[in-house]
């Protein structure tokens, strides 16, 4: 097939392509599969029940159901859902947010494709601007988003603070990170962060936000795991918003990755751009997510379930994962990132001969699927040894899978350490 240059934007070498393909990987012959790789959230019974009840009510309402499947939505997305969410976000942030400030997309991943290309690349004065990530490692899905002739990401390597109990925490290196409006179109960070489970502190976030504001550069906060839903934050952290912020939310980690719903909250000129992109690229965003979730938003079950069910669920899973990792790797130079949010154990195999890529490959042959850390260090100038020593494990799976998966992974790592 003879593709144009544009097709190069969809390279199968992309980390996110590998990650999504690994979600449907089959176990190697004669082995059991331990999927600790991709970003599937847990199937939590109480959440599933609430969504199923909502679906049953929707099917029982002939009019609503007919509209959901039979009509295109407005290109900016479901009006009533946007108005209701706007009220709740106004209360959360103590700000005046209206339906105009919100646009729906077919998943956050789709939101980032539009935002990154709208704020970075070539400008009318001939300048080239980039999206600055204040911390690398960052979400692998930000990579390969450029639909223009050149890379659009630049990152600042994280500061590493070593903590007790064989933990560490990434911080924004404020001596290295700067916002220059000549070269930076927008700044973006995920809070909580995929892959590390980091939650950037209030103080650091306020520093980043004020540098953005002073430079007149928007700050994109990726709240896919944050507040108000799914609320996977296990540390003190104040939700942040100001008129220079674009907040990206998603229904995926609440438990609906299959319906593909992303939410962009930002100034009306940004949400209008998203709306136009929706119309041009796909006519309209899907109605299914907003329709299903609207009743749960209206009666506040969405935030209740997030706080009272989802958060404790993942905290239990996290405790197990840490306990198993610490016990299995007690004799190895292994550290984990302080898990303050999301659903990942970000593990640092210090000085591992052959690195984490090799560990990823060997573990996959034994049926243990993980994600090699190097994919998450996009946009860095220099190669950094640390980037070759980390691995991301998703602990959302059932107890046996997580326990056995981690134990097997560590056994493979121990063998690899012996090859020094
Ligand atoms: C930090 C982060 N942002 C955005 C996304 C994209 O989510 P979705 O496109 O399912 O809304 C993910 C998915 O794993 C993520 O981890």
85 with 211, same domain?
Answer: yes
The residue from 275, 299, 323 where one domain ends is 299
- Domain residues for the domain of 334 are 11-43+304-415
pLDDT of residue 317: 96
Residue 260 shares a structural domain with residue 311: no
Clarify whether residues 197 and 223 are in a common domain.
yes
CATH no. for residue 79? Answer: 3.40.640.10
Is residue 5 assigned to a domain?
A: no
Predicted local confidence at residue 25, as pLDDT: 72
DSSP 130-182: EEEEEEES--GGGTT---SSS--EEEEEPEEEEETTTEEEEE--TTT----TT
Same domain, 169 and 60: yes
What pLDDT, on the 0 to 100 scale, is given for residue 11? Answer: 77
Confidence check: pLDDT of 153 > 90: yes
Answer yes or no: is 92 within a domain: yes
- Going from the Cα of 117 to the center of ligand 1, the distance in angstroms, rounded, reads 17
One domain for residues 148 and 288: yes
pLDDT in tens, 295-319: 999 999 999 999 999 999 999 999 9
* Euclidean distance between CA atoms 84 and 389, whole angstroms: 45
**% of residues, the chain, pLDDT over 70:** 100
Q: How far does residue 271's CA lie from ligand 1's centre (Å)?
A: 19
268 and 149 share one domain: yes
Ligand 1 atom having least distance to the Cα of 110: 9
Is residue 2 included in any domain, yes or no?
no
> Atom of ligand 1 at shortest distance to CA of 193?
1
Instruction: Assess if residue 4 is contained within a domain.
Output: no
pLDDT > 90? residue 275: yes
- Of the pLDDT bands very low, low, confident and very high (cuts 50, 70, 90), residue 20 is confident
| The domain boundary residue, chosen from 259, 282, 299 | 299
Mean pLDDT of 168-180: 97
Question: Residue range 261-273: average pLDDT?
Answer: 98
**Domain end residue (candidates: 299, 333, 363):** 299
Nearest-CA residue for ligand 1 atom 14 is 39
Interval 108-121: pLDDT, tens: 999 999 999 999 99
CA nearest ligand 1 atom 2, residue: 224
Decide if 6 is inside a domain: no
Mutate to test the pocket of ligand 1, among 106, 108, 221, 342 (most ligand atoms within 8 A of CB): 108
Q: How confident is the model at residue 169 (pLDDT cuts 50, 70, 90)?
A: very high
If one counts the domains in the chain, the total is 2
Query: Is 117 found in the same domain as 241?
Result: yes
Do 114 and 156 share a structural domain? yes
- The answer, yes or no, to whether residue 382 has pLDDT greater than 80, is no
Q: Ligand 1 site: residues with CB under 6 angstroms?
A: 39, 107-109, 139, 141, 190, 194, 222, 224, 250, 252, 257, 262
Residue 232 and residue 311 in one domain:
no
- Are both 127 and 241 inside the same structural domain? yes
Find the mean pLDDT for residues 263-285.
Answer: 97
Whether residue 202 is found in the same domain as residue 249? yes
Q: In ligand 1, which atom is closest to the CA atom of 192?
A: 1
Residue 23 lies in a domain: yes
Q: How confident is the model at residue 9 (pLDDT cuts 50, 70, 90)?
A: confident
Residue 266 placed within a domain: yes
Would residue 17 count as lying in a domain? yes
Q: Is residue 317 located within the same domain as residue 370? A: yes
Task: Give the residue, out of 23, 40, 139, 233, with the most ligand 1 atoms within 8 A of its beta carbon, to mutate for a pocket test.
Answer: 139
User: Each residue of 330-365: pLDDT tens digit?
Assistant: 999 999 999 999 999 999 999 999 999 999 999 999
Position 29 confidence tier, pLDDT thresholds 50, 70, 90:
confident
Higher pLDDT among residues 50 and 379, named by residue:
50
């Amino acid at each position: 097939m003879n593709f144009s240059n544009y097709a190069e934007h969809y390279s199968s070498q992309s980390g996110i392509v590998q990650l999504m393909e690994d979600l449907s990987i089959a176990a190697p012959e004669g082995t059991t599969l331990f999927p600790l790789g991709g970003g599937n959230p847990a199937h939590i019974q109480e959440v599933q029940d609430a969504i199923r009840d909502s679906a049953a009510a929707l099917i029982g309402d002939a009019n609503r159901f007919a509209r959901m499947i039979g009509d295109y939505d407005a290109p900016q997305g479901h009006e009533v859902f946007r108005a209701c969410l706007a009220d709740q976000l106004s209360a959360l942030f103590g700000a005046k947010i209206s339906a105009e400030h919100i646009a729906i997309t077919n998943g956050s991943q789709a939101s980032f494709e539009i935002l990154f290309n709208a704020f970075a690349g070539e400008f009318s004065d001939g300048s080239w601007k980039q999206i600055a990530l204040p911390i690398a490692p960052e979400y692998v899905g930000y990579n390969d988003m450029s639909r223009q002739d050149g890379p659009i990401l630049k990152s600042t390597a994280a500061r590493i603070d070593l903590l007790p109990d064989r933990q560490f925490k990434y911080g924004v290196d404020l001596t290295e990170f700067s916002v220059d409006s000549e070269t930076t179109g927008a700044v973006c960070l995920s809070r909580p962060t995929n892959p590390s489970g980091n939650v950037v502190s209030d103080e650091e976030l306020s520093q980043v936000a004020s540098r953005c504001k002073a430079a007149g550069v928007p700050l994109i906060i990726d709240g896919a795991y944050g507040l108000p839903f799914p609320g996977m934050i296990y540390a003190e952290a104040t939700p942040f918003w100001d008129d220079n912020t674009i907040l990206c939310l998603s229904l995926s980690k609440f438990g609906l990755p299959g319906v593909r719903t992303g939410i962009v909250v930002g100034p009306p000129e940004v949400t209008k751009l998203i709306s136009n992109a929706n119309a041009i690229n796909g006519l309209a965003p899907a109605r299914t997510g907003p329709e299903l979730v609207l009743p749960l938003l209206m009666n506040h079950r969405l935030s209740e379930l997030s706080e009272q069910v989802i958060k404790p669920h993942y905290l239990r899973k996290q405790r197990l994962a840490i306990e198993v990792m610490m016990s299995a790797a007690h004799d190895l130079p292994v550290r984990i990132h302080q898990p303050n949010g999301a659903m990942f154990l970000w593990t640092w195999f210090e000085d591992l001969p052959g690195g984490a890529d090799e560990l990823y490959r060997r573990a996959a042959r034994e049926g243990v699927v993980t994600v090699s850390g190097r994919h998450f260090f996009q946009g860095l100038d220099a190669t950094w040894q640390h980037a070759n020593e980390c691995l991301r494990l998703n602990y959302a799976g059932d107890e046996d899978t997580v326990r056995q998966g981690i134990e097997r992974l560590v056994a493979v790592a121990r063998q690899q350490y012996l090859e020094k």
